A = this chain, B = another copy of it.
Amino acid sequence: MTEPAPEFSLIARHFRPLAGPGALGLLDDAALLTPPPGQQLVLAADAMVAGVHFLADDPPETIGRKLLRVNLSDLAAMGAAPLGYLMTIALTPGTDEGWLAGFTAGLAADQAEFGLQVLGGDTVSTPGPLSLSLTILGHAPPGAALTRAGARPGDDLWVSGRIGDGWLGLRAARGEIADPDGALARRYRLPEPRLALGLALRGLARACMDVSDGLLQDAGHLARAGGCAVAVEAARIPVSDVTAPIAALASGGDDYELLFAAAPEDRAAVEAAGLAARTPVTRLGRFTAGAPHVSLRDATGRDITPAKLGWSHL
């Protein structure tokens, strides 16, 4: 047993350089982490499957990063700062080392950019498509975390960045639409977690979530959690392609923008938070009294809500 089994060599070579000090070199059964004193932990987990959540021929540098960024986006939505993550990978047999090297190089770049390190994980083999799962740990002062519940009638509905670029980016990555500089495909593969904005919205947003399954469907989640209705003005939705059908952009997935409620008297404060976080914010609707419901309105106030509000996995 002088030579460890191949599985352990692979992990050692590619993942160990990514490990934080508590990860015990990824050699142990578990990792140790001393939580920041007096803070609450914020925890999220997401999974991705090749051909479902990313394209099997996406560059390996982007695949792990996308999952990491999707989880960072969950922390952003809670107003939390990142601490570390654990990742499990089900690899197809014969995955070559070049692929693994690219995969971990992408993760290393994002670890540096977002200031966190891998704490542990597991590598297994699968006869099915490449599958990844990631659990992220973050922290926030007790009571400071933003949640989906809290929107009230009269509150404004806000969103960060642009809506629909994830959906356009998927079509671009598939070669279905033009993408001369690759910006749209890149947006699909590497969403931008809005961590700075999430921190700036602590104490300001009454409810917050990230848009992962379509703007309208997710606005519906905020409405239901707040026990009210919400109307979205189609003309206010920030989009990059005004020729694409607004219903498609507003129900496509993979935006990973923050969608949040704030009191009308806090409009200037929300604008200031966006500037401080260098993140565009747009007011695009309003919560109203009534049964939980989301509607999309055109400039004349007409209801143009599509039948399909977003994306469901099952």
Contacts and interface: CB of A to CB of B under 8 A. Distances in A.
A125 B313 contact: yes
A46 interface: yes
Interface stretch (A70-78, A163-171, A241-249, A277-285): A70-78
B42 A31 contact: yes
Interface in A1-52: 1-2, 4-8, 10, 24, 27-35, 37, 40-49, 51-52
A120 B294 contact: no
14 contacts: A1-B217, A2-B291, A5-B310, A7-B314, A10-B314, A27-B225, A28-B149, A32-B40, A33-B43, A45-B88, A47-B90, A48-B124, A86-B135, A126-B131
Given A45-B133, A53-B124, 16 more contacts: A1-B216, A1-B217, A1-B293, A5-B309, A28-B209, A29-B78, A30-B74, A32-B41, A32-B43, A47-B124, A49-B90, A49-B126, A51-B127, A86-B135, A125-B313, A128-B129
Interface stretch (A102-110, A140-148, A182-190): A140-148
Nearest to A142: B34
A285 to B, nearest CB: 14
The DSSP consensus for interface residues of chain A is mixed
A292 interface: yes
A67 to B, nearest CB: 10
Nearest to A224: B4
Contact of A30 (B2, B43, B123): B43
Contacts of A210: 29
A303 interface: no
A122 B90 CA distance: 16
A298 B73 CA distance: 57
Contact of A52 (B126, B213, B224): B126
Instruction: Report which residue of A29, A142, A213, A225 has the largest number of chain B beta carbons within 10 angstroms of its beta carbon.
Output: A29
Interface of A: 1-2, 4-8, 10, 24, 27-35, 37, 40-49, 51-53, 73-75, 77-78, 80, 86-91, 93, 119-129, 131, 133, 135-138, 142, 145, 147-149, 209-210, 213, 216-217, 220-221, 224-225, 291-294, 309-310, 312-314
A88 B48 CA distance: 10
